[in-house]
Structure 1
Amino acid sequence: MLSSSDNSYIHKKVISIGTVCELTGLSERQIRYYEERELIFPKRSNKGNRKYSFSDVEALMDIANKMEDGLQTSDLRKEITSKRLGEQKSESKEQMIRGQLNAYFKRRQ
């Protein structure tokens, strides 16, 4: 699984809202609504246009399916926030372990 700090093409914000509409079947209004409800976080170009990543497209499809199943945006926001906190904790643990290993091996040299 890729971390949120991964710079692979999956996370690069390069896709326009029109293309996202074509890929997901969602309207621009639906996509903007999900942004307003803080379910997705597109970047803005210098001209102010929204730019999405492939992971955003996947998230939008997941959001749309869950909304269709009757979930509310507030429930989805809690789920997304919880997932982000879990990823941050995991990254912090990894950094701490790396630091401990580096310190251990530097002492042994």
Structure 2
Amino acid sequence: MEGESYKTRKVITIGIVSELTGLSERRIRYYEERKLITPERSEKGNRKYSFSDIEQLMDIANKREEGVPTQEIRQDILKEKKKKEEENERDIRKKMLRGQINAQFGLRDK
């Protein structure tokens, strides 16, 4: 868990998520069934959420109130995830290239 942000650690139970968001546990499980949110499971099978999941649940609930279908929300989530993965890959390539250039010219990263 080293390097993991408090926002991404999945430690919050569904009951607390329900209290924090005002969403029923049933509604939260429905969003999971529709693959809009992906909690981790404890050894006993209990769902565990992160603060980032809570933010995402609130975003989903707001979109649903606006009448956005769950399928469209899921497509948006997948697009955003793909965009983040591509940005991460670009960052890694930039760091590798910078490292190769620095090694070639005997420079050090600051």
Q: With structure 2 as the length reference, what TM-score do the two structures score?
A: 0.92
Instruction: Specify the alignment match of 1:28 in structure 2.
Output: 25
Pick the structure with greater CA Rg.
2
Structure 2 unaligned regions, length at least 5: none
Instruction: Specify the alignment match of 1:84 in structure 2.
Output: 81
Q: How many residues align?
A: 104
Once residues 40 and 51 of structure 2 are traced to their aligned partners in structure 1, the CA distance between those partners, rounded to angstroms, is: 13
Q: 1:12 aligns with which of 9, 13, 34?
A: 9
Q: Does 1:44 align with 2:41?
A: yes
Structure 1 unaligned regions, length at least 5: 1-5
Once residues 88 and 7 of structure 1 are traced to their aligned partners in structure 2, the CA distance between those partners, rounded to angstroms, is: 17
Once residues 88 and 108 of structure 1 are traced to their aligned partners in structure 2, the CA distance between those partners, rounded to angstroms, is: 30
Once residues 102 and 62 of structure 2 are traced to their aligned partners in structure 1, the CA distance between those partners, rounded to angstroms, is: 49
AA in 2 matched with 1:29: R
Q: With structure 1 as the length reference, what TM-score do the two structures score?
A: 0.93
Q: For CA contacts below 8 A with separation 6 or more, give which structure has more relative contact order.
A: 1
Instruction: Specify the alignment match of 1:101 in structure 2.
Output: 98
Residue identity over aligned pairs, in percent, reads 49
Aligned residue for 2:23, secondary structure, equals coil
